[in-house]
Structure 1
């Protein structure tokens, strides 16, 4: 069965920030390799989750995807067209179809503008989307779609809670009816109960508007809830990518296994059976990335081959030719499947009580 149509294709994407020395005559002495060769494809109507610890390059990747920053190398193809080479009107037209929801709902909204002006601002940039006399009505409809009272159109951001502000940001992202939304940790600054509301809202909007998401987060449980596929980033590269079942139930890369072993488990019995993986050492600086496998300085499987050779992001040799869930792309020379969290044992079925219609409504 063929997968969904590819709407966004990223190939060899690189973003390096130069490190310079000197005041009058600056000399480049190195570079911070924030994104260092990322490849993935996004299907129409699909959600691709990107996870990884802080500093791995997730937010830089998000800014590159919407062309807020120019890449150092690589390509981002939207419907076959490389948007990194566009400028002017051509780039403006593409940006209409690729929108972004920012991480912090408190700083991503202009405090001097009303909600109506914030959500309606995209119409000022793309006036062809909505006639001037129809914009107020459209803004009210968008507020209603994201679960806000349309009557609050004249309020300011400080009059809303964090979850409501993030809904305003989502409404602004939907204003131009885009095909792709890049969500950069959209719920990390919200309370847990509000996180669930926003995630469920995004899932509903995806079905309603036919959206494709690149959902970036560091919370593995949230990513699994909303994502069809998951990519795990480490020091600017994707080290493992696959469906949510492949990544969470059958991880093959040591870094993914270590991340999953740190996820809190609500079941006490499963928590006792789980083997916690403690990584040694600190995360290397992106300005001084280790040779070969960039995870080798913290990996318990590291050998000489890991120092000399960069592992490709591909199906490991051990699983090639198989069709099991472990046969997915993993950048490790010694990849092997490991169940990090043991399956929960089904609870014992309580004995059935004899049915007595006489005391069906008896209060016990």
Structure 2
């Protein structure tokens, strides 16, 4: 479980993409606010799940965390050091400790390279991580760790299934023995049975290598299985965050409640008993975000205050002096607990709370 001090801290993180007009003389007329003020903390050995609809900024946040994108504003602190302004050798050192598993196993692997070359490529970039004569052996060990035959080192990506390709991507992410892995929807392109295998593999590797995960997905049931804490994103911001049991069993933000009500439930009786929340309208454009609460255009609780005042991400006033699971951060002026949104998972053991 997570340690008391965070290994990664995100404060006021912003990423805006300018919208321009003109050919020779370009003029900025607006901006796509993909990430618009995100605050997060990841504990050592912890899994932080980030969920939300497509287009809410999850993948942009992932690229910012591994420094594939430069933020417009805000800070990303790794072990207390702000890494947003790093470059050259200093950035290379940090990247060794923060690796990424990409969403699509069909496009994230170079089809012209063998599996051995793909998994061993990090050693070419960071030669200090492994002696040159020892790299082939380490690659074979990594393939064995993720459940693949070490003799597959000479094969090419097109010779593998989707689940096997994602295992190759995980092996590549583990090559440098990182402390943090940012997994951007690592199972969304896989079949349901293969999803379970990959999730169980990642959980086992977390214990074996002492990893901290930022696990991004739009499937809330997957996030529930692996995460210690969950943050819900909407239009570039976190609207609710807390421990997994707080979010899934005691959601207080209307958007989270609507998302949970759409999760498929295998039990027909439980499916009939729960209330389905249907949101009206479409997700607003990130280039034209509503004033005040950005969810108000689709929210059944919206009032005049919602259009005038941006809700703070904090424990709602109603639960401020409570000690129950509903007393967690929620960016809503009229937050209230609604349960049961999802049937309880009888096979899930409650996770230990941070010290």
TM-score, with structure 2 as normaliser:
0.96
The answer as to whether partners of 2:51 and 2:219 remain within 8 angstroms in 1 is: yes
Aligned residue in 2 for 1:145: 145
Q: CA deviation at 1:265?
A: 1.2
CA distance in 2, matches of 1:175, 1:97: 10
CA distance in 2, matches of 1:122, 1:156: 17
Aligned residue in 2 for 1:341: 341
CA distance in 1, matches of 2:283, 2:233: 13
Q: Deviations over 1:23-71 (max 9, x none)?
A: 0000000000000000010000000000000000000000000000100
The answer as to whether partners of 2:129 and 2:176 remain within 8 angstroms in 1 is: yes
Q: Deviations over 1:98-145 (max 9, x none)?
A: 000000000000000000000000000000010000000000000000
Q: CA deviation at 1:16?
A: 0.3
Q: CA deviation at 1:85?
A: 1.1
Indicate whether 1:296 and 2:319 are aligned.
no
SS of residue paired to 1:90: helix
Aligned residue in 2 for 1:67: 67
TM-score, with structure 1 as normaliser:
0.93
The answer as to whether partners of 1:257 and 1:340 remain within 8 angstroms in 2 is: no
SS of residue paired to 1:231: strand
SS of residue paired to 2:310: coil
| Number of equivalent positions | 346
Indicate whether 1:251 and 2:251 are aligned.
yes
CA distance in 2, matches of 1:74, 1:123: 32
CA distance in 2, matches of 1:244, 1:185: 18
Q: List alignment gaps of at least 5 residues for structure 1.
A: 347-364
Q: How does 1:34-53 map to 2 (within 5 A)?
A: 34-53=34-53
The answer as to whether partners of 1:11 and 1:74 remain within 8 angstroms in 2 is: yes
Aligned residue in 2 for 1:219: 219
CA distance in 1, matches of 2:345, 2:48: 30
The answer as to whether partners of 2:3 and 2:45 remain within 8 angstroms in 1 is: no
Q: Which runs of 4+ in 1 moved over 4 A?
A: 342-346
Aligned residue in 2 for 1:108: 108
Moved more, 290-299 or 270-279: 270-279
Aligned residue in 2 for 1:156: 156
The answer as to whether partners of 1:260 and 1:340 remain within 8 angstroms in 2 is: no
Aligned residue in 2 for 1:238: 238
Aligned residue in 1 for 2:332: 332
Aligned residue in 2 for 1:81: 81
CA distance in 1, matches of 2:319, 2:212: 30
Q: CA deviation at 1:266?
A: 1.3
SS of residue paired to 1:286: coil
The answer as to whether partners of 1:273 and 1:342 remain within 8 angstroms in 2 is: no
Change (3 A) 1:305 1:172: same
Q: CA deviation at 1:4?
A: 3.1
Q: CA deviation at 1:344?
A: 6.5
Aligned residue in 1 for 2:15: 15
